[in-house]
Amino acid sequence: MFGCARVVYNDCLHLRDQCHAAGQKVTDTEVQRRVITLAKATPERAWLGEVSSVALIQACNDARRAYQNWFDSLAGRRKGRKIRHPRPRRKHGRQSIRLTRNGFALHGARLYVARIGDVPVRWSRPLPSQPSSVTVIREPDGRYYASFVVERAAAPLTACDREVGIDLGLVSLVATSDGELIANPRLLRAKERKLARAQRSLSRKQKGSASRAKARRRVAVVHRKVREARLDHAHKLALRLVRDNQAIYAEDLCVSGLVRTRLARSVSDAGWSQLVRLIEEKAARYGRTFAKIGRFEPTSQACSACGVKDGPKPLDVRAWQCAACGAVHDRDINAAKNILAAGRADRLNARGAGVRPPSLVAAGAEAGTHRSAA
Ligand SMILES: [Zn+2]
């Protein structure tokens, strides 16, 4: 089923590319008809008939979405970094199929997948509602996951009057305006040697051999452990920030712009975007406010006590004294205080005018470099 969905996805991309190159318009229905219905009738793709068509249709939809995103990005209709042409799905690596209501069912504790049958599941938690769809994933380390789309009621916490600004950094993962520095668990680096060893071992194995497959799995396992530990830490940190504060403000960082610089390893290691996403989700769930300050602010240059801009400072300057008022600042905590002030100002503005202020999100290059220039 994974293989069929992958082939259909790739055929969709190929067909759309061909039509695009020939200057032909092709409707979504026509794409689906050609890569599924007509393809099934050919000897090369006859095996598509052996699996549930629900997964194939979803693969078609995924390819359409990927193609649309790429087009929107080209036309400048999409925020964020430019995205590239969708890549074909590969046989190695993560595999997934998506099934809507008519492609799966729950039989007690088992998951019924159309044309596959009942699959035993080790549930991580009870489902809060009837799932509307399920994604079955096979990770490169050989583990299978079922991820359900469910509806969950919001669970607002009792209101409190604390607000916090957070600065996402490299030295500390998070600095808060309350003066707290939360360490960055440099998990990837700590396990890097282990990972490097596993990867070296993989590169020495002969292509197509059984030992290569084994070595590849070992690399995938180390990756998974790092990923899980990082996610766990991010969940706990996000929950703590959301529970303790009524509003949380953060900078609108164009993380992807930074990732390509020499800071790449540390940045992806820190997992900023993951953390921000979790804070956003938890804030929505618990009735808290999360806002990104939607404009470029030189938060690490201005003194949070008197507001005087002290000029850019190299990244290795961790603490400084304001020449105007004499206040001594930790670089990141000072930035967090400025973020809190900017976030509050945005909020008051929005309330006063009755509308949200136009958010002038910093352009990728600006946002991507201002931290190292600041
Ligand atoms: Zn000052």
Mean pLDDT is highest, among 71-80, 140-149, 293-302, 357-366, for 140-149
317 pLDDT exceeds 90?
A: no
CA 305 – ligand 1 centroid, Å = 5
| Average pLDDT along the chain | 85
Q: Is the pLDDT of residue 58 over 80?
A: yes
CA 292 – ligand 1 centroid, Å: 24
pLDDT at 358: 40
User: Is pLDDT at 357 greater than 70 in this prediction?
Assistant: no
- Start-to-end Cα distance in the chain: 51
Q: Tell me, what's the pLDDT at 318?
A: 86
Range of lowest pLDDT (187-191, 337-341, 366-370): 366-370
333 CB-near residues (< 8 Å, 6+ apart) = 167, 175, 176, 177, 179, 180, 181
Residue 142 CA to ligand 1 center (angstroms) comes to: 56
| CA 296–ligand 1 middle distance (angstroms) | 20
pLDDT at 315: 73
pLDDT band at residue 70 using 50, 70 and 90 as cut-offs? very high
Structural element, H or E, at residue 248: strand 247-251
pLDDT (0 to 100) of residue 222: 86
CA of 236 to the centre of ligand 1 (A): 34
Mean pLDDT value of segment 289-301? 77
Residue 111 has pLDDT above 90, yes or no: yes
What phi-psi label fits residue 143: left (phi over 0), alpha (psi between -120 and 50 degrees) or beta? Answer: beta
Euclidean distance between CA atoms 354 and 348, whole angstroms: 10
pLDDT of residue 253: 65
Find residue 99's DSSP bridge partners.
134
Q: Which candidate in 11, 269, 332, 346 is catalytic?
A: 332
User: Per mean pLDDT, which range of 39-48, 166-175, 241-250, 325-334 is the poorest?
Assistant: 166-175
Return the exposure string of 327-349: e unless at least 16 CB atoms fall within 10 Å of the residue's CB, then b.
eebbbbbbbbbbbbbbbbebbee
CA of 373 to the centre of ligand 1 (A): 20
How many CA atoms lie within 13 Å of 311's alpha carbon, on the beta-carbon side?
3
Q: Which of 218, 214, 173, 169 is nearest to 191 (CA)?
A: 218
Q: Residue 313 — pLDDT band, cuts 50, 70, 90?
A: confident
- Say if residue 217 is exposed, middle or buried (CB neighbours under 10 Å; 0-12, 13-18, 19+): middle
> 176 pairs with which residues across the strands?
166
Give the tokens for residue 219.
């690399």
pLDDT band for 300, please (50, 70, 90 cuts): confident
Distance from C-alpha of 311 to C-alpha of 319, rounded to nearest angstrom = 14
Confidence tier at 297 by pLDDT (50, 70, 90): low
Q: How many angstroms is it from 310 CA to the middle of ligand 1?
A: 8
Q: pLDDT at residue 364 above 80?
A: no
Reply yes or no on whether 251 is catalytic: yes
Strands 289-293 vs 247-251: parallel, antiparallel or unpaired: parallel
Q: What percent of the chain has pLDDT over 70?
A: 85
Band (225; pLDDT cuts 50, 70, 90): confident
Distances (CA, A) of 202 to 92, 140, 141, 360: 14, 14, 14, 47
Query: Which member of 11, 62, 163, 167 is catalytic?
Result: 167
Residue 69's contacts (CB-CB under 8 Å, 6 or more residues apart) are 78, 83, 86
pLDDT value of residue 351: 74
Distance 328 CA to ligand 1 centre (A): 8
> Does the structure show a pLDDT above 70 at 66?
yes
Give 180 Cα–ligand 1 centroid separation in angstroms: 20
- Are 299 and 338 contacting, i.e. CB atoms less than 8 angstroms apart? yes
Percentage of residues of the chain with pLDDT beyond 90: 55
User: Is the model's pLDDT at 110 over the cut of 70?
Assistant: yes
CA distance 35 to 12: 6
Distance (angstroms) between ligand 1 centre and the Cα of 312 equals: 14
252 is annotated as an active-site residue: no
Give the distance (Å) from ligand 1 centre to CA of residue 335: 13
Instruction: Give the count of alpha carbons within 13 A of 231, CB side only.
Output: 6
Q: Compute the average pLDDT of residues 251-265.
A: 53
163 is catalytic: no
Q: Kindly give the interhelix angle for 2-21 and 53-74, rounded to the nearest 10 degrees.
A: 40
Q: In this predicted structure, what is the pLDDT of residue 260?
A: 42
Confidence of residue 281 (pLDDT cuts 50, 70, 90): very high
Least confident of 100-104, 149-153, 256-260: 256-260
Neighbours of ion ligand 1 (CB under 5 A): 303, 305-306, 322, 324-325, 327
Return all residues near 10 (Cβ < 8 A) that are at least 6 apart.
88, 89
Q: Which of 35-39, 89-93, 183-187, 343-347 has the lowest mean pLDDT?
A: 183-187
pTM of the model: 0.76
Among the listed residues 62, 251, 252, 269, the single catalytic one is 251
What distance in angstroms lies between residue 130's CA and the mean position of ligand 1's atoms?
56
The residue-averaged pLDDT of 364-372 equals: 34
Residue 138 and residue 94 in contact, taking contact as beta carbons nearer than 8 Å? yes
Expressed in angstroms and rounded, the spacing between residue 255 Cα and the centre of ligand 1 is: 29
Polymer length of the chain: 374
Average the pLDDT over each of 19-33, 200-214, 357-371 and give the range with the smallest value.
357-371
- Res 120: pLDDT: 95
Query: CB count, 10 Å around CB of 232?
Result: 11
